[in-house]
Amino acid sequence: MKAMAIKKTSREKTAGLHEMGTLRCDVCGEDFFIGHPPAQADKLVAEKQAKWLEKVLAEEHERDKRHADRIELPE
């Protein structure tokens, strides 16, 4: 199982993932859970993933692309 960012407003399930925090898109205000598989839950990794996700969300707005309900995070 991979670490995922899951849109709070989606119907996607966070089952099996340990919630590491929430990130809000600076442009549209959409909230995302950052979830890790329990055996791999790591706060420092989650902080790096949040920074990565901020950039991805901003780039999607630049390209007029909608945010996906689930975004796989790098390790």
* Structure token digits, residue 21: 């925090």
Is the pLDDT assigned to residue 10 strictly greater than 90?
Answer: no
Q: Which DSSP helix (H) or strand (E) runs through 47?
A: helix 43-62
**Cα gap 16→20, rounded to integer Å:** 13
Q: E strands, 1-75, where?
A: 4-7, 18-24, 31-36, 70-72
Question: What predicted TM-score, i.e. pTM, was given to this entire model?
Answer: 0.91
Mean pLDDT score, 1-16: 86
**Cα gap 52→46, rounded to integer Å:** 10
Is the pLDDT assigned to residue 14 strictly greater than 80?
Answer: no
Mean pLDDT score, 12-19: 84
Closest CA to 35 of 25, 54, 49: 49
pLDDT tens, residue by residue, 17-58: 999 999 999 999 999 999 999 999 999 999 999 999 999 999
